[in-house]
């Protein structure tokens, strides 16, 4: 007889790195993946055009540029196919369940959406043992600040 592990709910605060007053609080079940977290962030920040992304889990003692260089990286599955930076050890975000990450309260990690426009986010783990409630997950629990436009419009060249 197999006993399945009861999963719990994780709550994340996702803030724009360069505008931390703009943030979203998102809940996911532990059996959901980092790709599910990406999709929730995409929706929560009112984005409409998909791009590649990566999550970076830095070593706790890393600072500055080393923070990302030495981090464990979980990437969009398409990015893994090309692996443009073959020297990096990449993990598949769509295959990585939250329960597998051993996340801890107050832990911080980073999320980069769109490698060209570089939308950096700081993610803080606020809860790792929430009760599952009825309804669909992920759930966007709270929004603070207006979402900036995904693309900044160029000035009219005619002016």
Query: What average pLDDT does the segment 111-120 reach?
Result: 94
In tens, the pLDDT along 33-54 reads 999 999 999 999 999 999 999 9
- DSSP strand E in 58-154: where? 72-75, 90-92, 108-113, 119-130, 139-144
In tens, the pLDDT along 77-86 reads 888 776 655 5
- Rounded Cα distance between 142 and 135, Å, is 16
Quickly state the pLDDT bin for 64 (edges 50, 70, 90): low
Is the pTM above the cut of 0.85? yes
- Rounded Cα distance between 57 and 130, Å, is 22
**pLDDT over 90 percentage in the chain:** 71
| Phi, psi (degrees; rounded to nearest 5) at 47 | -85, 160
In the chain the domains, ranked by start, together with CATH numbers, are: 9-144 (3.10.290.30)
Q: How far apart are the first and last CA of the chain?
A: 73
């Amino acid at each position: 007889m197999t006993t399945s592990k009861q999963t719990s709910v994780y709550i994340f605060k996702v803030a724009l790195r360069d505008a931390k007053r703009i943030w979203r609080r998102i809940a996911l079940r532990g059996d959901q993946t980092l790709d599910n977290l990406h999709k929730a962030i995409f929706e929560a920040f009112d984005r409409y055009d998909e791009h590649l992304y990566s999550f970076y889990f830095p070593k706790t003692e890393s600072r500055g540029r080393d923070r990302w260089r030495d981090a464990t990286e979980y990437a969009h599955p398409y990015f893994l196919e090309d692996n443009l930076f073959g020297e990096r050890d990449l993990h598949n975000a769509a295959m990585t369940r939250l329960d597998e990450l051993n996340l801890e309260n107050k832990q911080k990690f980073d999320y980069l959406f769109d490698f060209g426009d570089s939308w950096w986010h700081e993610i803080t783990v606020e809860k790792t043992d929430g009760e599952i409630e009825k309804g669909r997950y992920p759930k966007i629990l709270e929004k603070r600040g207006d979402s900036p436009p995904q693309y900044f419009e160029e000035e009219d060249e005619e002016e």
